[in-house]
Amino acid sequence: MATVHSYGAAEVVTGSCHLIQLQCGTTILVDCGMFQGLVEERNHKPFGFDPSEVDYLLITHGHLDHVGRIPKLVKEGFKGMIVTHRSTMDLAEIVLLDSAHLMEESYKTAFRKAQRRGKEREIPKPLYEREDVYAIFALPVRYTEYDEPIKLGSDILVNFKNAGHILDSAIIEIHIEEEGAKKSIVFSGDLGNDYDLVMSSPDIPEEAETLFIESTYGDRNHRGAQESSQELQRVILETFARGGNVLIPSFAIERTQEILCLLKQMYDRGDLPVCQVFLDSPMAIRATEVYKQYQEELSAQCQKYLERDGTIFDFPYLHYTLTVQDSRKINEVDSRCIIIAGAGMCNGGRILQHFKHRLWDERNALVFVGYQVEGTLGREIIDGAKRISIYHEEIIVKASVHTINGFSAHADQSGLIAWMEGFKKLGKVFLIHGERKKQEIFQSVIMKRLGKKAHIVKFAERIGV
């Protein structure tokens, strides 16, 4: 019997990492992501398995919570083969170099402070550095395409299907033959929406004896895409009317491109007043370049823009501010600007400068367009914090705060249920990648709608499949 161990994204939404041990002796790892927010310290703990014994690393997509611990994996002995899309490796490089940079910077700051107390030896080294990121790219990689099954050894076939979540994100089907019996294990990866502007709808595999499904939004339904777009437009108009500006903390990959497409759509319709839109995130600018490089993979809407304008994301009000000088100049703009900046959960990045500059001013608006993990500044503000601390300075939150979840790159409860209903044959269901309370709600909905008892996976739990 094969076994699956969940070494991340068990009862939390980050740190995705699932180890599959097959009877034939082959060991496969699906994703190796970073823990974020409250569970961040887990990154420094041992994996729970020996990285040198992993034969294959399959990567569903390039988000940090799915690739963030790969440099640690390599540092600790992984020498196997990576199987993923070429664009996923490109995005992973951007994400991991950024992550290594942030860790190096915070290590330096902590080290300097500790030095003054004579306690620098107590400061833990960064999880990894840039050289560790480069080491990944020296490993053998087998690039895949959707629905082009790849044989790994004689009894294993893996197939990547479109998950519709970010560029080339995948649902991974693993077909194995053990003791003459065929089995399929499916990992949903992160699943997208049917109405995403940039990505096409997720595929649905035909069957799975065992399904590991994400459950980020298993407890709720998003507001519709149109409703969300109208809400964003309303916030923009109201904010501009009172002489303010709109701040949008955004994830560099996918959410940013989705918001750009949405603003372009408003501009096209004549619904976006004359303004300046700043994409103030070097990482998001680089990610947008990767999207452009693989533009043929994007939605039908993107293809229309490409045909009409020769570009998917650009429109006259949009400015890319790559340098620090250009970023600082945005501070001089008094009103009618929209600033899209990272980090998506406000735990670093240029958005903090904009918070410092504008959050205390009631004319401005702050719009959250993505999931805010527990323990992040974004979550603190959403939960109602009226005063926050940025670089040890207290800032009062007077800007209006809005959460528009319809832009989420994750399917909502109805989307997840509809996706499961699409399987011709579905066996056991295991819930991963979700907060416990939300998973419990999703579990009861699955029972009601599909008559299935879904199991909530615990950390390091061993599951026979």
Q: Which residues bind Zn ion (CB under 5 A)?
A: 63, 190
Least Cβ distance, residue 421 to Zn ion (angstroms): 23
- Dihedral sign from CA coordinates of 82, 84, 86, 90: negative
What is the secondary structure of 314-365 as a DSSP string? --TTEEE--SHHHHHHGGG--SSEEEEES-TTSSSSTHHHHHHHHTT-TT-E
Minimum gap (Å) between residue 341 Cβ and Zn ion: 19
Smaller CB distance to Zn ion: residue 62 or 282? 62
Alpha carbon distances (Å) from 73 to 79, 132, 141, 227: 9, 10, 15, 43
Q: Which of residues 67 and 277 has its CB atom nearest to Zn ion in the complex?
A: 67
Give least dist CB 34 to Zn ion, A: 12
The CA distance from 42 to 45, in Å, is 5
| 324: exposed, middle or buried (Cβ count in 10 Å: 0-12, 13-18, 19+) | exposed
Least gap, CB of 258 to Zn ion (angstroms): 13
User: What are the CA-CA distances from residue 125 to residues 32, 47, 101, 120, 128 (Å)?
Assistant: 20, 17, 13, 10, 8
Of residues 190 and 280, the one with the C-beta less far from Zn ion: 190
Least distance (Å) from Zn ion to the CB of residue 216? Answer: 9
Q: CB–CB of 339/278 below 8 Å?
A: yes
Q: Based on CB atoms, which residue is closest to Zn ion, 321 or 412?
A: 412
User: CB-wise, 20 or 34, nearer to Zn ion?
Assistant: 34
Tokens of 48: 């729970």
Task: List CB contacts of 313: < 8 A, sequence separation 6 or more.
Answer: 257, 260, 261, 264, 288, 291, 292, 305
Amino acid type, 25: G
Q: How far is the CB of 190 from Zn ion (least distance, A)?
A: 4
Please, what is the minimum distance in Å from the beta carbon of residue 415 to Zn ion? 15
Contact 124, 132 (CB under 8 A): no
419-431 b/e (C-beta count within 10 Å ≥ 16 → b): bbeebeebbbbbb
Q: Which is nearer to Zn ion, 31 or 219 (CB)?
A: 31
Q: How far apart are CA 131 and CA 390, in angstroms?
A: 30
Q: What's the first-to-final CA gap in the chain, in angstroms?
A: 6
Of residues 11 and 65, the one with the C-beta less far from Zn ion:
65
Q: Which amino acid is at 435?
A: E
Task: Select 88 or 321, whichever has its Cβ closest to Zn ion.
Answer: 88
Place of tokens 């699409």: 422
Smallest distance, Zn ion to C-beta of residue 214, A: 8
The total of other beta-carbon atoms located within 10 Å of residue 56's CB is: 21
Work out how close the CB of 129 gets to Zn ion at its nearest, in angstroms, rounded to a whole number. 24
